A and B are shown apart, each in its own frame.
Chain A
Amino acid sequence: MLAFLVFLPLILLFALAAVYAERKVSAYIQDRYGPMEVGYRGLLQTVADILKLFLKEDVRPSGAESRMFRMAPMLIFASVFAGFAVIPLTTDILGSGIETGVFYLLAIVSLDIIGLIMAGWGSGSKYAVLGSLRAIAQVISYEIPLGLSILSAVMISQTMNLQELSVLQGIWSEETTWLFGISALGIDVSNVGGFLSWNIFRAPILIPVYVIFFIASLAECNRAPFDLPEAESELVSGYHTEYSGFRFALLFLAEYALMLLVAMLGVVLFLGGWNTVLPNIGPLKLAEWTSGAPGTLAGNLWGAFWLIIKSLGIIFLQMMSRWTYPRLRVDQLMYLCWKVLTPAALILLFISGVWRLWMV
């Protein structure tokens, strides 16, 4: 319940901030200012936008499948929001500590695609149908490298419980952590913590895996350069072409919530979860000072702080790539997925298994 009360406002706040940030980042990349008029340097711009959306009429096309059309935004947002149930924001703030958290997450995020089909097909608009068809092709394809990359991290950590994954990557881990995961070096960094105990440093093979995960997650949440389902220049706005008012706001919210979800998932799987960035350096117990003991208020605050900071960093990268790279063609999208990412992920999965067997 606590997690619900924390995550819902967090997502809402994040969506507001992210839209603003997205506009600012794109503006600065393009040597302009972005929103500047509403509030100080346009800070209230998205608030004004949301207010406007709430006040707008909920237009429903006469050719739409009424029930599907009306349900789709709620289904999409519900599935994305359900994904947050297993994200360990801190040691205590966690919706559900189920052992199969990773599976649950993959499954629930895939449910999102059902909502996209409902929205696209139910709209009775060719643009929406085309957009949702593209979304299906894209998301189903990218489930594979995404799943394989997650599987690599799971194999290294030997657990599918996201909270356990987080604990393993910090100074509170009960396992011995060798520098770069190579026990032969004989350097024990269990008490150093910081970034050295993150999964991508515990097993450097996970660095390319994380790159695959990042790319696949971009495609999963339909972000540029994989925004074919929404391709404004071709499909007006893809599957949510026909939406307006509050339902459109909900779709938008779900989109940004999904960004946050995949970013948090990546952080939990590869980047130490809620663990601090700073390592203990001799007498400077930076890791302990910036962590707080699990279960204490300080521990919770630090944990939430680190997880959110890291997630925002990843989201910033998502934004950068959106405003840097052009949209892929459909054939390029499939080429990248089936001929590059999937084979690479398979190979890395194999190497990860070997690593787990021999190195640790």
Chain B
Amino acid sequence: MSKGANNTYFGDILEGITSLWGGLKITFRHLWNARHKRRQIGLQEKEYFSQGEGVFTLQYPFESFPIPDNGRYRLHNEIDDCIVCDLCAKICPVDCIDIDPIKSTEEIGKTSDGTTKRLYAAKFDIDMAKCCYCGLCTTVCPTECLTMTKTYDYSEFDVRNMVYHYSNLSPEESEEKKKAYEVQMAEKKAAKAAASKPAAPPKPVAKPSIPGAKKETGAKPVIKPAQGEKKPSATKPVIKPVVKPSTKQGDEKKADKPSAKPVIKPVMKPKSSEGESKPAPKPVMKPVMKPKKADGENKTEGSGKSLPKPVMKPVMKPKSSEGESKPAPKPVMKPVMKPKKADGENKTEGSGKSLPKPVMKPVMKPKSSEGESKPAPKPVMKPVMKPKKADGENKTEGSGKSLPKPVMKPVMKPKSSEGESKPAPKPVMKPVMKPKKEEGENKAEGSGKSLPKPVMKRPEAKNDDVSDGQKKDTDEASEAKKKSAKPIMKPIIPKKRKDDDQ
């Protein structure tokens, strides 16, 4: 009997009968073996691939497949070990981690691996519905408190329940912490001001600047700060309802502490606004140099210190004033700008050509440094500071006008440092490089071009480049968002840029 296409008539019939019989035997064997089912063993078992017989079906809700202990599914954050460094939120490709930190007035304690905790997490939310289980956040976590667990079935009827709340602070507690920190900051500022600033001509300027600062932050925080400052109690109740659902969720899912989050947000904003607005008195700062130095020190300190902040505030105000003035025709810009520019360019060129431009850049730089890596920037910070000082000097030289202006720049930097200075580990960060680049570019640009606008754009571009350069920050967009949200300075800049572009 031959097989295949060249078969004979009877060969065909015979082959048909044998193959039909063979097929029946196979199906009968499976039918017979369906009396028992295959053992549900994990993938790690050796027999996993050698079980050929029996019912294969896993009746999922009633039975489940054994998951290896190192399964990487739902995230879990051991909040007690979390230093709120924000690294996980930064690296997350889908931005599903939302952290709202509160600075502590003192060292909170140690994590289990000995790292010092200096920040409270008013909010630590992970949106599991967005999470793509890439695991990046667990690899960057310096204290290894963020881990992936073997729990994989946690679907919800309401997608909002997929947001897991890990913060262990209640809204009231976080409010309390914020206030404590604000009080401390105010005290420090007052002490600094008293010690370092005999003459306070800039002060009046500072006050006007406060509203300006609020405006600057306006995009995001404007509303919130106002609420937080004016009516903390009123806002809270509103928040609570939100919180309750979250707690339920937390209970169901074994997630930790959902309550604090909503409350925290409002509080935070007010703080930022307050923190920024408070500095207003700072303007008293006489010596431009001093604030800068303070900034530099703050930077080095990294995160826990609030000293630099006061400096920040003064700067802000001038900026705000500047920012407000900027929209106006260019001529106006120049006067203001010049001192600034002088600062920026003084470093490299020392000439008074593009005074307005340099001002822009300084602002930008701080942002970039802030957004990217605070710790490392310390060295960078200093250089920046110097230029500022130089600016101040230049100003005196070139124009002799704007002593307060130099103050502006320093302020910028501190802000950035404040807003983002939390993560201690960053120091290694490339940021140092960036500032240099920016400076170098600014210099070149500044020298070649005297128009304020172009300068503005370039700084921005530079910032972007810097962020790109930093591999740690995967999401430029996220950084941009963060930057804009936190530092008052940033909002101003974007506006200018837009105007310029237009």
Q: A323 to B24: give the CA distance in the assembly, Å.
A: 9
1/0 per residue, CB under 8 A from A, across B17-33: the answer is 00010011011101101
- In the assembled complex, which residues on chain A have CB atoms less than 8 Å from the CB atom of B33? 31
Contact of B55 with A by CB under 8 A: yes
Chain B binding surface SS class: helix
A289 interface residue (CB < 8 Å to B): no
Which B residues touch A32, using CB under 8 A? Answer: 55-57
- Chain A residue nearest in CB terms to B28: A320
Which chain A residues lie closer than 8 Å to B30 at the CB level? 28-31
Q: B55 touching A324 by the CB < 8 A rule?
A: no
Q: Return the contact of A33 from the options B20, B26, B27, B57 (Cβ within 8 A).
A: B57
Name the residue on A nearest B62 (C-beta). A36
Across the A-B interface, the 3 shortest Cβ-Cβ residue pairs: A28-B34, A324-B27, A31-B56
Q: Is the CB of A323 within 8 A of B27?
A: yes
- Report A306-343 residues with CB < 8 Å from chain B CB: 320-321, 323-325, 339-340
A29-B59 CB under 8 A given contacts A324-B24, A324-B26, A325-B23: no
B335 interfacial by beta-carbon distance below 8 Å: no
Cα–Cα distance between A340 and B17 once the two chains are bound (Å): 12
Give the CA-CA distance A324 to B26 in the complex, in Å: 8
Cα distance A30–B31 in the bound complex, in angstroms: 8
Q: Decide if B134 is an interface residue (CB 8 Å cutoff).
A: no
Contacts A/B (CB < 8 Å), 28 sampled:
A27-B34, A28-B34, A29-B27, A29-B30, A29-B31, A29-B34, A31-B30, A31-B33, A31-B34, A31-B54, A31-B55, A31-B57, A32-B55, A32-B56, A33-B55, A33-B57, A36-B59, A320-B24, A320-B27, A320-B28, A320-B31, A321-B24, A323-B27, A324-B20, A324-B24, A325-B20, A325-B23, A339-B9
Which B-chain residue is minimally distant from A225 (CB atoms)? B20
- B23 contacts which of A25, A33, A324 (Cβ < 8 Å)? A324
In whole angstroms, what is the CA distance A230 to B229 when docked? 75
Main secondary structure of the interface of A (DSSP, over half): helix
Q: Give the complex CA separation of A29 and B26 in angstroms.
A: 9
**Cβ-defined partner of A25 (8 Å) among B9, B31, B59:** B31
B20 to chain A, nearest CB (A): 7
- Residues of A contacting B31 in the complex (Cβ-Cβ under 8 angstroms): 25, 28-29, 320
B13 at interface by CB-CB < 8 Å: yes
**CB neighbours of A324 from chain B (8 A):** 20, 23-24, 26-27
Most chain B beta-carbon neighbours within 10 Å: one of A29, A36, A340: A29
What residues of chain A lie closer than 8 Å to B23, measured between beta carbons? Answer: 324-325
- The closest CB in chain A to the CB of B52 belongs to A31
Q: How far is the CB of B314 from chain A (nearest CB, A)?
A: 71
Taking a contact as CB atoms closer than 8 A, the residue among B13, B55, B59 that contacts A28 in the complex is B55
Q: Which residues in window 131-161 of A have CB below 8 A to B?
A: none
User: How far apart sit A320 and B31, CA to CA, in the bound complex (Å)?
Assistant: 9
Q: Flag if B56 contacts A340 (CB, 8 Å).
A: no
Do residues B57 and A340 form an inter-chain contact, with CB atoms below 8 A?
no
Report B-chain residues with C-beta under 8 Å of the C-beta of A29.
Answer: 27, 30-31, 34
Measured between beta carbons, the chain B residues less than 8 angstroms from A30 are 30
How many residue pairs at the A-B interface have CB separations less than 8 Å? 40
Min distance, Cβ A224 to any Cβ of chain B, angstroms: 13
CA distance A31 to B34 in the complex (A): 6
- Chain B residue at minimal CB-CB distance from A30: B30
Q: Which of A27, A31, A33, A340 contacts B59 (CB 8 A)?
A: A33
B28 contacts across to A, CB distance below 8 A: 320
A29 and B31 CA atoms in complex are apart in Å by: 5
Q: Chain B residues near A321: list those with CB within 8 A.
A: 24
Tell me the complex Cα distance, A113–B20, Å: 28
Apart from A28-B34, A28-B55, A31-B56, 8 more pairs, CB < 8 Å: A31-B57, A32-B56, A33-B57, A33-B59, A36-B59, A324-B27, A325-B20, A340-B13
Cβ < 8 Å to B, chain A residues 20-47: 25, 27-33, 36
**Closest Cβ neighbor of B55 among chain A residues:** A31
Given the complex, which residues of B lie within 8 Å of A33, measured CB to CB?
55, 57, 59
Distance in angstroms from B27 CB to nearest chain A CB is: 4
**Cα separation A265 to B290 with both chains bound (whole Å):** 109
* Cα A62 to Cα B86 with chains together (Å): 64
Q: How far is the CA of A324 from the CA of B24 in the complex (A)?
A: 6
Q: Which residue of B lies closest to A335 (CB)?
A: B12
For A27, list chain B residues within 8 Å (CB): 34
Report the minimal beta-carbon distance from B460 to chain A, rounded to whole angstroms.
60
Chain B residue with minimal CB distance to A343?
Answer: B9
Q: How far is the CA of A118 from the CA of B91 in the complex (A)?
A: 67
B230 to chain A minimum Cβ distance, whole angstroms, is: 58
The distance from the CB of A104 to the nearest CB of chain B, in whole angstroms, is: 32
Q: Which of B26, B33, B55, B59 has the most CB of A within 10 A?
A: B55
Query: Nearest B residue to A25 by beta-carbon distance?
Result: B31
Contacts of B20 in A (CB 8 A): 324-325
Q: Bound complex: CA of A320 vs CA of B28, how far in Å? A: 8
Q: Which residue of B lies closest to A27 (CB)?
A: B34
- Separation in Å of the B195 CB from the closest CB of chain A? 78
B24: nearest residue on chain A (CB-CB)?
A: A324
**Hey, which chain B residues are within 8 Å of A323, CB to CB?**
27
Least CB distance from B354 to A in Å reads 75
> In the complex, what residues of A have CB within 8 A of residue B55's CB?
28, 31-33
Q: List B4-50 residues whose CB lies under 8 Å from chain A.
A: 9, 13, 20, 23-24, 26-28, 30-31, 33-34
List, in ascending order, chain A residues with CB within 8 A of B27's CB.
Answer: 29, 320, 323-324
Residues on the A chain within 8 Å of B26, using CB: 324
Q: How far is the CA of A339 from the CA of B56 in the complex (A)?
A: 42
Please, which residue of chain B has its CB at the minimum distance from the CB of A211?
Answer: B17
Q: In the complex, how many angstroms separate the beta carbon of B331 from the nearest chain A beta carbon?
A: 78
Q: How far is the CA of A340 from the CA of B13 in the complex (A)?
A: 8
Report the nearest A residue to B9, measured CB to CB: A339
Interfacial chain B residues near A325, Cβ < 8 Å? 20, 23
Q: Closest residue to B17 on the A side, CB-wise?
A: A211
- A117→B383 CA distance, assembly (Å): 93
Most buried by B among A27, A30, A340: A30
Q: How far is the CA of A28 from the CA of B29 in the complex (A)?
A: 10
Nearest chain A residue, comparing its CB with the CB of B29: A29
In the bound complex, CA of A36 to CA of B58 (Å): 12
Closest to A325 in B: B23
| Most central of B13, B28, B57, B59 by chain A CB within 10 Å | B57
> Closest approach, in angstroms, between the C-beta of A162 and any C-beta of chain B?
29
User: How far does the alpha carbon of A32 sit from the alpha carbon of B27 in the complex, in Å?
Assistant: 13
Nearest to B30 among chain A residues (CB) is: A29
Instruction: Pick the most buried of A27, A31, A32, A321: most chain B CB atoms within 10 A of its CB.
Output: A31
User: What distance in Å separates the Cβ of A272 from its nearest Cβ neighbour in chain B?
Assistant: 23
Bound form: Cα–Cα A340–B16 in Å: 11
A321 to B27 alpha-carbon distance, docked (Å): 9
The CA of A342 and the CA of B176, in the complex, are separated in Å by 96
Q: In the assembly, what is the distance between CA of A33 and CA of B56, in Å?
A: 8
User: What is the bound-complex CA distance between A343 and B33, given in angstroms?
Assistant: 39
Q: Which residues of B contact A320 (CB under 8 A)?
A: 24, 27-28, 31
Give the docked Cα–Cα distance between A340 and B9 (Å).
9
A contact residues around B34 at 8 Å (CB): 27-29, 31
- A32 and B57 CA atoms in complex are apart in Å by 5
What separation, in Å, do the CA atoms of A304 and B9 have in the docked complex?
A: 43
Residue of A nearest to B22 (CB): A324
Q: Which residue of B lies closest to A24 (CB)?
A: B34
Name, among B24, B26, B33, the residue most crowded by chain A CB atoms within 10 Å (CB to CB).
B24
Taking the nearest CB of chain B, how far is it from the CB of A196, in angstroms? 25
How far does the alpha carbon of A32 sit from the alpha carbon of B31 in the complex, in Å?
10
Of chain B, the residue at the smallest CB distance from A36 is B59
A348 to chain B, nearest CB (A): 14
Within 8 A of A (CB), among B46-82: 54-57, 59
Give the docked Cα–Cα distance between A30 and B54 (Å). 10
